[in-house]
Amino acid sequence: MKLLHLSASPRGPRSESLALAGTFLEVIRDSRVEVEEYDLWDGTLPAFGPDAAAAKMAVFAGEEPRGAAAEAWNAAIATFRRFDAADSYLFSVPMWNAGIPYILKQFIDVVSQPGLVFGFDPATGYRGLLHGKRAAVVYTSAVYGPDRGPAFGADFQAPYLEDWLRWAGVDDIRTVHFRPNLATADAATARRVAHERARDLAKEFLQ
């Protein structure tokens, strides 16, 4: 099994999501599973701007992208192939403004291309093409929590990412949540429980 870890946090050793991902990966690496790290902030993720958008619409129309559009399309395909080469995924995802970091949204926009992540039929709609894969997701948030009122935020983080994964064909999704209210509470107990969950989840992945 090859596992690709996609990190959406830019905080390095200060990141709670990366720390939990590290606990998960300790168990995975002990089993000799091949692990590839993909730091989405490392500068290699291509942009998805006018040229890439033109290429996507050309492909939708059954045409061949040309010039700058072709270059943008090739960059998107290369990113998708790196993603598709893995059998399973680990996403480490901090909450930003109730949602996901923009760099993860950029990754989703780059790889979500016709004939790669999805197919489309005018009569039946979309169908996901990422069959036989599974995903583990680490979610963190410093203020939002499901047991808190609306003044502490809302969750457009987990619903968005999991809807995208299912749309792409990944139905086996397992999660770790660490959502202490760091402004008012001691997070030590919640952190310990989250790391235990990360270890248990990694063991499930190996079964």
Domains of the chain: 2-205 (3.40.50.360)
pLDDT of 40: 98
Quote the tokens at residue 58: 């050309």
Q: Which region among 59-63, 71-75, 153-157 has the lowest average model confidence (pLDDT)?
A: 59-63
pLDDT of 32: 82
pLDDT of 206: 86
Alpha carbon distance 142, 9 (integer Å): 13
Helix axes 16-30, 188-205, angle to 10 degrees: 30
- pLDDT tens digits along 103-148: 999 999 999 998 999 999 999 999 999 999 999 999 999 999 998 9
User: Alpha carbon of 27 to those of 8, 37, 121, 200: distances in Å?
Assistant: 21, 15, 41, 9
Answer whether residue 71 shows pLDDT above 80. Answer: yes
Could you tell me the pLDDT band of residue 189, with boundaries at 50, 70 and 90? confident
Question: Which of 34-56 are b and which e, b meaning 16 or more Cβ less than 10 Å from the residue's Cβ?
Answer: ebeebbbeeeebbebeebbebbb
